Amino acid sequence: MATAGVDLSAFNKEELPDTSGMRFGIVVAEWNEKITEALYQGAFDTFIATGTPERQITRINVPGTFELVYGAKQLCEKDIFDAVIVIGNVIQGETRHFDFVCEGVTQGVVDLNVRYDTPVIFCVLTDNNIEQSRARSGGKHGNKGVECAVAAVKMAALRRVVH
């Protein structure tokens, strides 16, 4: 099912656990910052809405999506977060660079989820154009940052159950 027809911002707070005792890390790419800042705000607001104290949300910035993996690795190494979200926006240009950035961050996040006990949530928009990015960062399809924060909360709760 594609994003079209899905509201990425839709969630029922009552169906989520209280996050007052949880800590979340958010790694934000500076490339396409208008998009990544909107994604970050969606994620941050969702954590606050589910009860996370602001002091328990840690943000770090990296230059671009390709560096998200290194940033998330630094947070995972601390082993203090219930979940980490990586936020990026990759937009197709004239060359195949798009493919390699997307492949690199995708495989890197997979590797982090295998190597560390901290769920790393993939909040990377990989779009053909800026219009698609706008639509998924608070536009007609909602905000993927919200969707990914909900995923982070659910995975954090799962991690506590299985521990």
Ligand X SMILES: CC(=O)[C@@H](O)COP(=O)(O)O
Instruction: Tell me if 67 is assigned to a ligand binding site.
Output: yes
> Of residues 48-107, which lie at the interface with ligand X (CB under 6 A)?
90-91, 93-95, 97-98, 101
Residue 66, contacted partner among ligand LW54GNZ2, ligand X, none, CB below 5-8 A by kind:
ligand LW54GNZ2
What mask, x for binding ligand LW54GNZ2 by CB under 6 A, covers residues 69 to 98? -------------------xxxx-------
Total site size for ligand LW54GNZ2, rule CB under 6 A: 13
Are residues 56 and 22 in contact, defined by beta-carbon separation less than 8 angstroms?
yes
Residue 127, contacted partner among ligand LW54GNZ2, ligand X, none, CB below 5-8 A by kind:
none
Instruction: Tell me if 33 is assigned to a ligand binding site.
Output: no
What mask, x for binding ligand LW54GNZ2 by CB under 6 A, covers residues 40 to 69? -----------------------xxxxx--
Residue 119 corresponds to which tokens in the numbers above? 């769920």
Does residue 97 carry a catalytic annotation? yes
Are residues 44 and 11 in contact, defined by beta-carbon separation less than 8 angstroms?
no
Q: For residues 90 and 15, give the distance between their C-alpha atoms in angstroms, rounded to a whole number.
A: 32
Residue 61 corresponds to which tokens in the numbers above? 């910035």
Catalytic (active-site) positions: 97
Annotated binding site for (2S)-2-hydroxy-3-oxobutyl phosphate: 94-95, 136
Enumerate binding residues for ligand X (CB under 6 A): 90-91, 93-95, 97-98, 101
**Which residues are annotated as part of the binding site for 5-amino-6-(D-ribitylamino)uracil?**
31, 65-67, 89-91, 122
